[in-house]
Chains A and B, each alone.
Chain A
């Protein structure tokens, strides 16, 4: 092998390989060319293997030419690859097109019960005003559920709470969350701002607006100067939070043995806004809770001096609030737990 022959072979290889690269149909063909020409067992390698037979003074020159050929072939393959690769990617992306208008993969959707959530929302509102949550037992005794709340045995006011008595002496299922007032007073010293959510029970035939099990939230605030004006201000804030800013409210006299004075708290009817509709018994108002100034007798049973301290309590039915907020007409739905009903809630 002489120099001229070797140089001619390299030239020929350059021409052939560049031509093949330029006319390759796809990138796979380029891979073949690359391997055939530039690979360890490729033609260029084979040609260079002949360098050893050349005189020493010719070797650098052949090496330089071989390098040029390598760069030229690599360039040809590279530019062909760039061209073919772009087209192939475009073809792949086109082939991968899906119908993006189909619905997504459904995730199981859970929800939170509207009564528990409403109670939480109520607690959140009062938490802004410093009210902290306490809970009491549902199996109560007559003394705490009634007597310490100024409802002695055989008091006619007991008719306001049809009671489920237990097969245990003196025990009953709490008829309201109010006994929690006594429990908080026994636990804490004023200033007290307490909120007591929980399950209550009544001997009450179940219909669209009555349940034998239901949830209440009780509030209690006691300090040296806590007055009915504070109660009114707080409940106004509550009404605005739950039923929209500016919702008109009113106090009217009510009766509970454990508050004196006692009031009922009304909001302007959420259905007719005061135009007097069947939903508000044509009064324009809806009662959402009962409240009043804690009766001195209750303060004393709670171990608090009624000459030094005064305060208010309020109690509301969670179902009532939820009914108005979520337009629920039949409160049996809350405990029937039909998923088609519950699924409407977050």
Chain B
């Protein structure tokens, strides 16, 4: 809410500097987001009048103007690009040397061959309005040659009024806050209605509220004989400073009342209201028929639902209640009689309608926060008064008021001891009463048996204070946010200021121990960063193309009791963009995007990982699971003066997975060929598995994906998607110490000749299966191809380590070796000679 201080000062004395005032308001919960010096940066901007406006000889879009400053000096010729200008208009002129908001320097300049001696200013250029459509046209009686700041300078506070304080969305409401902060009383606006003679409002107009639940009060007034025209100068500027564009005296009056009192008002051309059954023009407040159409003020035809509340007459809609008036009842220059509508509408209904029609307005945002009933009457009277003062209207006698009863202040009982317990303070009852009094909340002893309201939902919870002393707060009618005991505590704290709350470290009981669910993730992060990978964080929302591209034929299954992948992707119903409209199902695409970005930025060596979630649903059940994704491209060992670069390959990725498995105490993973994953190189992809502990897909990205995803690399891209037990919320189990044998271990090397198609894992499995209980470990240490082997053969050299709690005999070792050799032979493999 924009608050010109000149306006605020009508209701409360402002003895503070704007900065001091802003700080006080902020500390009271009315956060001042900005302080605008209205006019401070209008140096060398003066008022002028357009004498002539002609087309620029060489540029269709430009005009050639002459401007007088009214001081008898030679008129200035100024080139202007706006189209809303005409001779006779008074306008702000930035003279050469002026510096406009945003440090925009105005100099004498040549524009398409014509010299321009300054610039005509739009509202945006002056930071005077948000309107950049054209030059700001000043009131016709604006004096000429005067610095603009002298006429319209002000200070405007930008106050962030929270949604629970609709009462403060007004100059008067904020004046009440200033009064509380500076211990003053508010001067109420002088509302007096000078009614004319002639037929009364009730004789001229009828109002038929057909849905009293959605329109709890409707106050109507009739003002005749208005002359529609511009509002007085200072009113226009005040509205401008408050961010409201002046339209006409009639429209401005309703906007003025909305800003001043916080009461949205609508004005109709009375001639557009058709007669009802008894011959009087009759306003009907009803719900729209499903599909009913109505053209709003912005000349858009809206199709309405049965939830929409309408202001209508016998012939049809006149406007959408609380949201926007209708084009058919708009006040025009020809309008003479005005119907003033000052109504209270159901907050939820207005909010829904405004949202459905995407018509959030100043009015709807006030209605949806709830309106004080009293304001219906005050708003109607104040508007009628302004129409009389600004447009010469004659106010018909009386008003129509469908619910003239105004509620009393509400009572909220509270226990001072509870307030102190909540705040950690020890304020006396006297302190509390004085603090509440500053915001107009009077207090008295609670009645005998009066219950304290603790909460209103899920149902009303009240307690009997019993022997505990209790007070009752009498809440001003405009404060709809004080309803329970805790609300009173907040009011006390904010008025007193939070510096009264002491700062102590908690000394209450501690909760029982709970292991951190981040333990495994953090170990993985440290490990991967330790071997040279950079952690990345990417968006969970990706494009549909992403989702379609990065699907595993066979997903990496979750381990433990985590949700399993698979099922349908989850889409966003109202995405910001297509690029972020679906939740990812794995991390592969995410890490590849990071690879792509960095390659485009000229970083050739990329080794990155992310720990994040995949998401999917089965029917209406959403699922989320944790994964590690990593990608390597470029060199794993960067080139240096003493070493050539070594490009990353699948063995780097497998080594990383093995390291993770080791650090988590899982043992070594086994590998199997993964030839059926179209995202990956058919001959360079594997699954790594530690039963129940780890499952990964690892491999070289398929060239077709590299191309389709436009990864700018000549080299290979290695990727992995890893599921780990405990990634979701596991704690690390303590490691078991290895028993370091006191007896010597024996090593035997076996070079096994096989067909090329046989995998290392096949041979290792056969060795492990046949080696018996003395086997400690088997490890591949060499692969050889070439003479004297046949072309389709290779030799896999394994080192077998044997040991036991004793010294092995030569015979035992030989027996193990023989068992292995015969098992290998049974598979058709031989030892290399």
Contact = CB atoms under 8 A, between A and B. Distances in A.
Given A135-B517, A164-B574, A223 B597 contact: no
Given A138-B613, A253-B29, A337 B597 contact: yes
Interface in A220-275: 221, 223-230, 232-234, 236-237, 250-255, 257, 260-264
Contact of A212 (B422, B526, B531, B580): B580
Contacts of B637: 108
B576 A102 contact: no
B522 A120 contact: yes
B641 to A, nearest CB: 6
Contacts of B661: none
Interface string A113-127: 101100010010001
A300 B347 CA distance: 25
A107 interface: yes
A82 to B, nearest CB: 37
B513 to A, nearest CB: 8
Given A108-B638, A201-B541, A250-B499, A192 B505 contact: no
A229 B504 contact: yes
A135 B518 CA distance: 9
A134 B517 contact: yes
B601 interface: yes
B535 A226 contact: no
A257 B494 CA distance: 16
B489 A261 contact: yes
User: Interface of chain B, helix or strand or loop or mixed?
Assistant: mixed
Interface stretch (B20-28, B281-289, B335-343, B713-721): B20-28
A113 B506 contact: no
B547 interface: no
Contacts of A320: none
Given A132-B514, A156-B347, A253-B29, A337 B608 contact: yes
Contacts, number: 294
Given A154-B348, A300-B455, A334 B573 contact: no
B541 to A, nearest CB: 7
Nearest to A236: B503
A296 B509 contact: no
Nearest to B539: A213
B572 A164 contact: yes
A300 B457 contact: yes
Interface stretch (A4-12, A14-22, A31-39, A165-173): A165-173
Interface in B108-141: none
Contact of A339 (B348, B368, B425, B598): B598
Nearest to A140: B622
A337 B536 contact: yes
Contacts of A68: none
Interface in B423-461: 423-425, 454-458, 461
A90 interface: no
Interface in B459-505: 461, 463, 484, 486-487, 489-490, 493-494, 498-499, 501-505
Contact of B529 (A110, A129, A299): A110
B162 interface: yes
A150 interface: yes
B616 to A, nearest CB: 10
A70 interface: no
Contact of B502 (A109, A159, A168, A232): A232
Interface string A147-180: 0001010111101100011111101010000000
B518 A123 contact: yes
A81 interface: no
Contacts of B455: 295-297, 299-300, 306
B535 A133 contact: no
A137 B534 contact: no
Contacts of A192: 511
B83 interface: no
A337 B642 contact: no
B510 interface: yes
A251 to B, nearest CB: 3
Interface of B: 22-23, 26-29, 31, 33-35, 162-166, 347-348, 351-352, 365, 368-369, 421-425, 454-458, 461, 463, 484, 486-487, 489-490, 493-494, 498-499, 501-506, 508-511, 513-514, 516-518, 522, 525-526, 528-541, 570-576, 580, 583, 594, 597-598, 601, 603, 606-608, 611, 613, 615, 617, 620, 622, 624, 636-638, 640-643, 729
Given A129-B505, A168-B617, A336-B597, 20 more contacts: A105-B642, A105-B643, A110-B607, A111-B535, A112-B535, A123-B516, A135-B729, A156-B347, A164-B541, A171-B622, A191-B511, A199-B613, A228-B422, A229-B423, A233-B502, A252-B26, A261-B489, A296-B454, A339-B603, A340-B603
19 contacts: A132-B513, A135-B729, A164-B541, A164-B575, A191-B510, A194-B511, A203-B574, A204-B576, A206-B576, A228-B423, A229-B423, A233-B502, A254-B29, A260-B486, A261-B493, A296-B484, A336-B597, A338-B597, A339-B598
